[in-house]
Amino acid sequence: MKVLAAMSGGVDSSVAAARAVDAGHDVVGVHLALSRAGGTLRAGSRGCCTIEDAMDARRVADELGIPFYVWDFSERFRLDVVDDFISEYEQGRTPNPCLRCNEKIKFAALLDKAIDLGFEQVVTGHYAHIVDREDGVRELHRASEEAKDQSYVLGVLTEEQLGYCAFPLGETPSKAEVRAEAEERGFVTANKPDSYDICFIPDGDTRSWLGEHIPMRPGKIVDREGEVLGEHTGATGFTIGQRKGLRLGRPAEDGKPRFVLGTDPVENTVVVGPREALAIGEVVGQRFTWAGPRPEADDFRCEVQIRAHAEPVAGTCRIRAADSALRPDAAEAGVEIAVRTDEPLHGVAPGQTAVIYEGTRVVGQFTIDLAVSELDLEEGILARAAGAGTKEHN
């Protein structure tokens, strides 16, 4: 089989490529250049896809005796990931750029080019497991090692894309075993630290980076009823759940601290309220995909995960008619996904990705457009606003 191995320059993709070679495939390695900044180098374990990473990937390819290329996807990355990141923040949402990169770059642009060049499969170093059912349907499942499972960031894969994917590390018991294998093979990446943080913000200071790209406009800080409590210098400088730095003019009536519940980019306001309003009982989204066939039932039990390493929470997923148009890029006009959880979710912000599971299987994912607090659910209110817990009724 003609296989393209996506080689990031890390230990996982190195071993994945090696296992594809061992399996007897005709393997070609490729590294994606996502930035044209010629001097970009890794800062410790921050960032990824740097010049250093490209050189490490080439060294591993030479060890394996396979052809190696660097593909320049920097312009596509800027448009689909970096610009999207800025746009989402401007609209009061908190995006996940790594998921968007998987969706738009690694399993769209890369996969499309691979297919055009005649490759039958794309191999990556992700920790996830693909199951081929007897009826020919491919299912995406969690990896065998739960702590390293990366199925969440692959939740954006569609049924068609899964048909071309392979994850050789999915059933490997531990990362330590992968590192040991890399060391035995003599790979320079064997003890290389894992990357973290946003690759295009290598110093990890997201707030300062956003300040350079989004004009900060002063505005009002308001409570859930819209009463003005203070002023802010820029809404993008606040995160949901933030308590410090609000500098409000007066305390709450009950004397308890207030927390950031969300932002309204149209009114340029920051919404604050009690800690209880941060407990989210339902998440709703109109931009979604299915990792396989669309579920047969419009109402089914599931688990939902809202961050890569968050604990999944049980709930009920509903595919239903949308009450209003929350996104211009909705997957299906007039349709939305809503998950009502059995226990409240915490740290939820519009713009995050919710991945839906049935057991270990990834069913699909959606971008959270609306997070409804337990308080609002108890009061029978379905808030149609950008921020969690705000009351803007239709």
| Positions marked catalytic | 101, 199
Measured CA distances, 52 to 18, 41, 59, 105, 335 (Å): 20, 6, 11, 20, 45
Under a CB-based contact definition with an 8 Å cutoff, are residues 61 and 356 in contact?
no
- Joined tokens for residue 162: 């899964």
What is the C-alpha to C-alpha distance for residues 174 and 11, in angstroms, rounded to an integer? 13
> Kind of pairing, strands 335-345 and 280-285?
antiparallel
Kindly state the DSSP code that residue 161 receives in the 8-state scheme.
H
Radius of gyration of the chain from Cα atoms?
22
Residue 193 has a CB neighbour count (10 Å cut-off) of 11
In angstroms, how far is the first alpha carbon of the chain from the final one? 55
Contact 112, 92 (CB under 8 A): no
Task: Report the alpha-carbon distance of residue 201 to residue 68 in Å, rounded.
Answer: 27
> Distance (Å, rounded) from C-alpha 339 to C-alpha 348?
13
Token pair belonging to 329: 């890029």
| d(C-alpha 371, C-alpha 387), whole Å | 7
For residues 33 and 53, what is the distance between their CA atoms, to the nearest angstrom?
Answer: 10
Distance CA 68, CA 4 (A): 10
Distance, CA of 185 to CA of 17 (rounded, Å): 12
- Residues 143 and 361: their CA atoms lie apart, in Å, by 10
**Distant-in-sequence, close-in-space partners of 13: CB < 8 Å, separation ≥ 6:** 5, 6, 7, 57, 124, 125
Coil, strand, or helix at residue 197? coil
Query: d(Cα 120, Cα 165) in Å, to the nearest integer?
Result: 9
CA angle 272, 254, 390 (to 5 degrees): 25
Q: What is the DSSP letter of 103?
A: I
